[in-house]
A and B are shown apart, each in its own frame.
Chain A
Amino acid sequence: QKEVEQNSGPLSVPEGAIASLNCTYSDRGSQSFFWYRQYSGKSPELIMFIYSNGDKEDGRFTAQLNKASQYVSLLIRDSQPSDSATYLCAVAINKFYFGSGTKLNVKP
């Protein structure tokens, strides 16, 4: 079983819509959770991190963490074509475990 699971997508949403990206993890000892965005051929860039249950908002992005259900999600409001990328979920236990990523396409 993989440590971190993500739907590979692609997830297609129209411009201006809300994109919802989900991630589940297997280790209940996981402490910190990260969302990275990766454009094709580039390295990941951090969008948000969260380590407490509940929601955390930063601009158009909201991270949601539910430790009881072992999932973490990322909502992108008012999606823009520039948000089209692969989104990687990462879980930190004693090291980082990355999911395989969800490809998001925002259509103009």
Chain B
Amino acid sequence: GAVVSQHPSRVICKSGTSVKIECRSLDFQATTMFWYRQFPKQSLMLMATSNEGSKATYEQGVEKDKFLINHASLTLSTLTVTSAHPEDSSFYICSASVESGLAYNEQFFGPGTRLTVL
């Protein structure tokens, strides 16, 4: 159980175009979804947190107008990188969690999307 999928797994696009990445929880309803970015040899950096039906909360330094997040349902969140530039090339990973009522909420990670902007 607790499977999270991402689509596409890999995308190459030209500078200036927009790219949409989907994140789905396949066998559970996610209370919260998270979007991370990971540059080579670096750790995961949280970009934003989204709850179904409400606006995403962006981390400091992340442009909300550039990285549009839509959380339309309890099983789907999308990240759109608008007007992508080569510096946006990275590994984008989503995760989903369920409010457990315990001291922790385990995050289940998707397989990631490798974005290359030419």
Contact = CB atoms under 8 A, between A and B. Distances in A.
Given A32-B103, A49-B104, A98 B43 contact: yes
A29 to B, nearest CB: 12
Interface residues of A, number: 20
Contacts, number: 46
Given A43-B93, A96-B46, A101-B43, A32 B104 contact: yes
B106 interface: yes
A88 B103 contact: no
B91 to A, nearest CB: 8
Interface residues of B, number: 20
Given A31-B104, A92-B105, 9 more contacts: A31-B103, A41-B91, A43-B93, A43-B111, A43-B112, A44-B93, A88-B43, A98-B45, A100-B42
13 contacts: A32-B103, A42-B111, A42-B112, A43-B93, A43-B109, A43-B112, A44-B44, A46-B106, A92-B105, A95-B49, A96-B46, A98-B44, A100-B43
Interface of A: 31-32, 34, 36, 41-46, 49, 51, 88, 92, 95-96, 98-101
